[in-house]
Amino acid sequence: MVKVKNPWHRPVVIFLAAVIIVGIIIMVAISVIQNKPLHQKCKYGIVLDAGSSHTSVFIYEWPAEKENNTGMVRQKHTCNVQGKGISSYSANPQGAGASLQLCMEEAKQKIPAHRHPETPVYLGATAGMRLLRMENEEASDKVLDSVAHSLKSYPFSYQGARIISGQEEGAFGWITVNYLSKNLRKPTGTLGALDLGGASTQITFVPQQNIESYDNSIDFRLYGNDYHLYTHSFLCYGKDQALKLSMGKKLESTLKADKTDPIELRDPCFHPGYNFTRTVPNVFNTPCMREMKLANETFFHVGLGNWSQCQQSIRKVFNTIDCPYSRCSFNGVFQPSVYGDFGAFSAFFFVMDFLNLTSDTLATTKQKLAAYCSTPWKKIVENHPNIKEKYLSEYCFSATYILTLLEDGYKFTSNSWKDIRFIMKIGDSDAGWTLGYMLNLTNMIPAEAPDTPLMPYEGYVTFMFLFSLLILVLLLLVYFYFRRSTRTAQKDII
């Protein structure tokens, strides 16, 4: 009997299989490396939010190759500038620029040095500077020159320092929340934006009704979709200016009713037992109110802690009677009915979060707030020894103002109250106008949708891996089948 065997057969098959396996491994490795998002290659941008009460520096970061994809920019770092807002430097403009130094030095540390020259820096000033410009344009120009001069001294790419309009503030806040929620490339609805500052407040949303006033309408084309937005910014209706408006009205009626000395302003929006000596100019030092000349310049601000009276007094700062349109919010400003979900951020969040009122019904919110306002001031201070006394004393007023603004002003109902989400951040990034402002100025939101790859990166890698595994399994099956049939043939021959 002769045993037929090809001595070359086995090593050749093993060699071929090895070449194929190594080839597949190399192919997968190359495709993974080739398509790996280059995490280390990031770009940066800096935006300074020069608000009425304080300035914050935001540093944003995004992967260099993916700048046109929604949701790719994230907030890397924030720095709160020490002291008050830049509008408080009207008598000492140089101080405004100098106040930014510590945070800008921090930005130099946070951003890799080789990226400094290409990192844009923008400063946007909001309602505090709008008021200063109304009061004293020269002073506001000097403050802006001072911050511009300071920002130009850093190694970044200075792109300007300006007062943004209320419309921009509203619209960019809306872009931020919808960009971060990744709503912009989906057919699903968008999120309305409610921003409460110290000197102004903004409401922005996509309405169902026609927008009757040109000033309140803004159009965007983003990622191939058209958005027709309603937006309005109420100057003087941020919570600090609203407090002045409300106190000013009470002070005027107190003086009409009783000219006794010393003046006592009995305020239902402050806790019982609260008693603080203030000066009249301290209330009236704002272009939001007619000046009131008073011989006696100090008064006692005395708390009563009565929520419903507080709400009555706050209602007086909204004119809900005159309306030249089919419907208005207040002060003769057109507003369509609120529609869809809303994100309420900045002071809307700070105040409601402090009071644990971010997830109750409207009725429960009112009940809880009434109990809070009637709590004695001494007890409030005892319960919160570490909170700044100015903030602490004002939470009852601020929350009552928020409820009145949302319900009587914007016409939210107990039903639509459920659609308001009090938020500070979405993911890592703060809700606010700064991110939208930077995305717009760096053209990071294209009008048309960019071409997207067939499948996302993770899907692509998984696909390549499984596909290679399949080929490998098939090859092995063929090999074993081939070996078995060769052996059977050999046996038959034997």
Ligand X SMILES: Nc1ncnc2c1ncn2[C@@H]1O[C@H](COP(=O)(O)OP(=O)(O)O)[C@@H](O)[C@H]1O
Binder among 173, 197, 207, 343 for ligand X (CB under 6 A): 197
User: Is 189 assigned a ligand-binding role in the annotation?
Assistant: no
**Nearest distance in Å: CB 406, ligand X:** 16
Q: Which residue reads 């089948």 in tokens?
A: 481
Residue type, 268: P
> Distance between CA 408 and CA 459 in Å, rounded?
50
Catalytic residue among 168, 169, 297, 448: 169
Report the run of H or E that residue 101 belongs to, with start and end.
Answer: helix 101-110
135 carries an active-site annotation: no
Binding flag, residue 166, ligand X (CB under 6 A): no
> Contact, 238 vs 196, CB < 8 A?
yes
**Nearest distance in Å: CB 354, ligand X:** 6
Beta partners for residue 344, in sequence order: 194, 422
In angstroms, the first-to-last Cα distance of the chain is 7
> Contact, 309 vs 388, CB < 8 A?
no
User: Is 198 assigned a ligand-binding role in the annotation?
Assistant: yes
Closest to Ca ion by CB, 58 or 60: 58
Closest to Ca ion by CB, 120 or 197: 197
| Span of 191-199, 215-223, 284-292, 460-468 interacting with ligand X by CB under 6 A | 191-199
The entry of Ca ion, ligand X, none that residue 325 binds, CB within 5 to 8 Å by partner kind: none
> Contact, 102 vs 82, CB < 8 A?
yes
**Nearest distance in Å: CB 125, ligand X:** 8
Binder among 43, 44, 52, 203 for ligand X (CB under 6 A): 52
**Nearest distance in Å: CB 118, ligand X:** 29
> Distance between CA 314 and CA 294 in Å, rounded?
23
With left for phi above 0 and alpha for psi between -120 and 50, is residue 255 left, alpha or beta?
A: alpha
Closest to Ca ion by CB, 201 or 311: 201
Residue 191 CB partners (closer than 8 Å, separation 6+): 174, 177, 178, 181, 183, 340, 341, 342, 343
Binding flag, residue 197, Ca ion (CB under 5 A): yes
The entry of ligand X, Ca ion, none that residue 177 binds, CB within 5 to 8 Å by partner kind: none
Closest to ligand X by CB, 239 or 366: 239
**Nearest distance in Å: CB 472, ligand X:** 59
Q: Which residue reads 């043939």 in tokens?
A: 489
Beta partners for residue 425, in sequence order: 430
Closest to ligand X by CB, 205 or 348: 348
DSSP letter, residue 8: T
| Span of 70-78, 122-130, 322-330, 356-364 interacting with ligand X by CB under 6 A | 122-130
Q: Which residues are catalytic?
A: 169
Binding interface with ligand X (CB under 6 A) = 51-54, 85, 126-128, 197-200, 238-240, 346-347, 350-351, 354, 391
